[in-house]
């Protein structure tokens, strides 16, 4: 495996890597996939994910066409053309996302999910973001489908597609260096339990994830405090090939001090656990209040639906003492909590004082917070299905929607902490997934896709865009890498 010359080497075995490997193979290349993890732990963050894909579509027919059979209840969702997707990314990233890369992501999202369906990836309506009643299933625009059996299913289906093509995969195979020859990338140095191997290829695709599982890099780039909290996904994304690409001259791009981090169960494991995958997430906070260990609110919980705010709420929790907070609900909203809350413990009380005692926070502080919040709640009827405008007045931080006074017992509280999902900073690619150097010139022989690339997400992130980004640019990287290899073969 390591002694022959390959057309394309793909580093990593998540969604970005496997889409690249399959696309390169189908474009005629010989492909080797290098996975650092042992076979049983293969698949990166992709395997832990909820596997919701945000893609653009003109009409419901585009969505239904991806399903193996029509759903048994009516699906209600607004059109989500590429421009709306583009605007969503620009809105949540404060206009900093790379316009050309974002345009490519949005425009090619639907063709890419169709291509994945044709590879054997099966889709179903998203359990996380869909709100179901007897007659209909309502979805936020753009966030309708996930892959069957979520990330575990996505990973299995992509591996099945790769294995049916007999794409070679090496496990326990960690890429540690890029091979360079007169400025051209000519393969990688791989470390395995048997030793080190120089592996030659015409094109190399880096798809080895971010640096979220590396506490030293987290502290260095994200800042103090980031070295301690739980990692929501794989322990293998430790950033060595990201550092190596920079060392070889790739351009650092994007929000290097930024990351996707969400409220998770305070007792979540230190790194992702495949029995829990993404079930430690605690995303129903818009329907309650979030307080710190002093019983004080510190973050706007109701700015928007959680799919537009959850990625930045983790950071706000991390800034609180002991990286801890509590989400509190009352009888009016407790029934709205996602199923995932059932995987953790809660504290209940018939009065706020009783609740505070169970939580171990000062009863006076929490009582004051709740009565001030209740007094500031104004207007509009509470409606969990829309941004209802039921807001606080004169309160800091404000709550702009779903500001239901906490007044109907029993009260219930869930302890949360900040869990890191993935990092935003990475190396720069162009719209053909070619890696650019510090002068924005193409680095010959080097491509990248997925979390290892930067320039897509800043400060915040619209749910479902991570996997979509990896697949759109994975497919592009595979095709471009195969083309390059075929060109080299012709000229030599
Ligand atoms: C709990 C959780 C839930 C999520 N839910 C969603 C969701 O619903 N929708 C969404 O869009 N996104 C979601 N995400 C984010 C999404 O999972 C990632 O953005 C996406 O999986 C990244 O894909 P990737 O292929 O770039 O990286 P990964 O899937 O992480 O793959 C990286 C691969 O590289 C390998 N690797 C690392 N270093 C090396 C090396 N030196 N040599 C060889 N191999 C190496 C790893 O072992 C792994 O196989 C979620 C993430 C988590 C953790």
Q: How many CB atoms lie within 10 A of CB 69?
A: 6
Q: 6-212+425-491 with 261-419: one CATH topology?
A: no
Q: What is the distance in A from the centroid of ligand 1 to the CA of 390?
A: 37
pLDDT of residue 328: 98
Helix ranges (H only) for 124-170 are 150-164
The owner of tokens 């995303």 is: 283
CA distance 270 to 279: 14
Q: What is the distance in A from the centroid of ligand 1 to the CA of 466?
A: 9
Yes or no: domain 6-212+425-491 corresponds to CATH 3.50.50.60? yes
pLDDT of residue 492: 55
Per residue in 34-90, pLDDT tens?
Answer: 999 999 999 999 999 999 999 999 999 999 999 998 888 888 899 999 999 999 999
The owner of tokens 């897509």 is: 456
Q: What is the distance in A from the centroid of ligand 1 to the CA of 209?
A: 6
Q: What is the distance in A from the centroid of ligand 1 to the CA of 355?
A: 38
**Strand pairing class (325-329; 289-291):** antiparallel
Pocket test for ligand 1, best of 113, 210, 466 (most atoms within 8 A of CB): 466
Pocket test for ligand 1, best of 22, 46, 157 (most atoms within 8 A of CB): 46
Q: What is the distance in A from the centroid of ligand 1 to the CA of 217?
A: 17
Domain map of the chain by residue range?
6-212+425-491, 261-419
Q: Ligand 1, atom 14: nearest CA belongs to which residue?
A: 49
Q: What is the distance in A from the centroid of ligand 1 to the CA of 284?
A: 24
* CATH architecture of residue range(s) 261-419: Alpha-Beta Complex (3.90)
The ligand 1 atom nearest the CA atom of 52: 8
On whether the pTM is more than 0.75, the answer is yes
Per residue in 419-457, pLDDT tens?
Answer: 999 999 999 999 999 999 999 999 999 999 999 999 999
Q: Is 311 in the pocket of ligand 1 (CB under 6 A)?
A: no
Per residue in 247-305, pLDDT tens?
Answer: 999 999 999 999 999 999 999 999 999 999 999 999 999 999 999 999 999 999 999 99
* CA angle centred on 316, ends 366 and 287, rounded to 5°: 60
The ligand 1 atom nearest the CA atom of 236: 47
What letter does residue 250 receive in the DSSP assignment? B
Residue 188 CA: distances (Å) to CA of 14, 175, 177: 18, 6, 6
């Amino acid at each position: 495996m390591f002694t022959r010359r390959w057309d394309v080497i793909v580093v990593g075995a998540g969604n970005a890597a496997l889409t690249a490997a399959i696309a390169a193979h189908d474009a005629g290349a010989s492909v080797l996939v290098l996975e650092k993890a042992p076979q049983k732990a293969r698949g990166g963050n992709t395997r832990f994910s909820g596997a919701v894909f945000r893609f653009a579509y003109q009409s419901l027919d585009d969505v239904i066409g991806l399903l193996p059979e029509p759903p048994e209840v009516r699906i209600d969702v607004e059109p989500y053309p590429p421009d709306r997707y583009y605007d969503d990314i620009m809105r949540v990233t404060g206009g900093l996302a790379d316009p050309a890369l974002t345009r490519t992501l949005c425009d090619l999202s639907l063709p890419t999910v169709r291509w994945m369906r044709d590879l054997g990836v099966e889709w179903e309506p998203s359990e996380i973001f869909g709100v179901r009643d007897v007659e209909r299933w309502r979805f936020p625009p753009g966030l309708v489908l996930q892959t069957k059996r979520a990330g575990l299913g996505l990973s299995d289906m992509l591996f099945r597609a790769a294995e049916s093509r007999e794409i070679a995969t090496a496990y326990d195979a960690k890429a540690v260096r890029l091979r360079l020859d007169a400025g051209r990338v000519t393969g990688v140095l791989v470390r395995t339990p048997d030793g080190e191997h120089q592996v030659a290829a015409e094109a190399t695709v880096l798809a080895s994830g971010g640096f979220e599982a590396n506490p030293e890099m987290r502290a260095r780039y994200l800042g103090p405090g980031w070295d301690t909290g739980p990692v929501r996904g794989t322990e293998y994304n430790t950033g060595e090939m990201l550092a190596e690409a920079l060392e070889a001259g790739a351009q650092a791009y994007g929000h290097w001090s930024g990351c996707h981090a969400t409220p998770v169960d305070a007792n979540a494991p230190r790194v992702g656990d495949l029995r829990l995958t993404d079930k430690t997430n605690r995303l129903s906070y818009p329907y309650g209040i979030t307080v710190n260990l002093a019983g004080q609110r510190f973050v706007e919980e109701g700015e928007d639906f959680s799919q537009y705010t959850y990625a930045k709420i983790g950071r706000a929790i991390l800034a609180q003492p002991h990286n801890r907070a509590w989400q509190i609900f009352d009888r009016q909203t407790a029934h709205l909590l996602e199923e995932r809350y059932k995987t953790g413990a809660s504290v209940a009380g018939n009065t706020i004082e009783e609740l505070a005692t169970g939580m171990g926070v000062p009863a006076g502080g929490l009582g004051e917070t709740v009565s001030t919040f209740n007094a500031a709640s104004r207007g509009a009827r509470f409606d969990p299905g829309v941004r209802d405008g039921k807001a606080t007045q004169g309160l800091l931080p404000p709550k702009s929607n779903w500001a239901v006074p906490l007044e109907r017992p029993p009260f219930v509280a869930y302890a949360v902490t900040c869990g890191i999902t993935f990092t935003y900073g990475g190396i720069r690619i162009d719209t053909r997934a070619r890696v650019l150097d510090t002068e924005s010139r193409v680095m010959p022989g080097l491509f990248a896709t997925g979390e290892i690339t930067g320039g897509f997400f800043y400060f915040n992130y619209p749910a479902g865009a991570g996997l979509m980004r990896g697949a759109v640019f994975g497919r592009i990287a595979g095709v471009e890498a195969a083309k390059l290899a075929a060109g080299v073969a012709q000229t030599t």
